[in-house]
Amino acid sequence: MPEFSDAVLTDAMRHAAAEARKWMGATSPNPPVGAVALAADGSILAVAAHQRAGGSHAEAALLTLCREQNLLPKIAMVCVTLEPCNHHGRTPPCTEALINANIKHVTNGARDPNPKVIGGGLARLQQAGIEVICGVNEAECQQLMHAFLYQAQTGKPWITIKRAFDRKGSMIPAAGQKTFTSEKSLVLAHCLRKKADAIITGSGTILADHPLFNVRHVPDYPAKRRWLAILDRRGRVPEAYLAEARQRGLDPFVYQDIKQAIADLAARGAQDILVEAGPALSAAMLDSGLWTMSVTIRQGDTDLVDVDFNPREQLPFASKDFRWEAILPA
Same domain, 174 and 61: no
Same domain, 277 and 139: no
Among 144, 172, 197, the domain boundary falls at: 144
Same domain, 189 and 55: no
Among 144, 170, 195, the domain boundary falls at: 144
Q: Residue 171 is part of which domain span?
A: 153-327
Same domain, 80 and 212: no
Q: Kindly indicate the confidence band of residue 88, based on its pLDDT and cuts at 50, 70 and 90.
A: low
| Residue type, position 229, single letter | A
Among 93, 120, 144, the domain boundary falls at: 144
pLDDT at 117 over 80: no
pLDDT at 250 over 60: yes
- Note whether residue 76 is domain-resident: yes
pLDDT in tens, 67-87: 999 999 999 999 999 999 876
Q: Residue 58's domain is classified under what CATH number?
A: 3.40.140.10
Which range has the worst mean pLDDT, 92-106, 109-123, 165-179, 266-280? 109-123
Same domain, 180 and 293: yes
Same domain, 25 and 132: yes
pLDDT in tens, 202-232: 999 999 989 999 999 999 999 899 999 999 9
| Residue type, position 112, single letter | D
pLDDT at 268 over 90: yes
pTM reported for the whole predicted model: 0.93
For the chain, what is the mean pLDDT? Answer: 93
Q: Which residues are annotated as catalytic? A: 59
Same domain, 100 and 166: no
Question: b/e per residue, 4-31, with b = 16+ CB within 10 A?
Answer: beeebbbbbbbbbbbbbbebbbbbbebb
Same domain, 104 and 170: no
Q: Kindly indicate the confidence band of residue 115, based on its pLDDT and cuts at 50, 70 and 90.
A: low
Same domain, 62 and 160: no
> Please, are residues 148 and 282 in contact by the beta-carbon 8 Å criterion?
no
Average pLDDT over residues 42-60: 95
Q: Residue 194's domain is classified under what CATH number?
A: 3.40.430.10
Q: How many domains does the chain contain in total?
A: 2
Same domain, 72 and 163: no
Same domain, 125 and 94: yes
Q: What are phi and psi of 202, to 5 degrees?
A: -115, 160
pLDDT in tens, 228-247: 999 999 999 999 999 999 99
CA nearest neighbour of 200 among 224, 178, 230: 230
Percent of the chain's residues with pLDDT above 70: 96
Which residues contact residue 159 at a Cβ distance below 8 angstroms, ignoring those fewer than 6 apart?
262, 273, 274, 275, 285, 290, 291, 292, 293
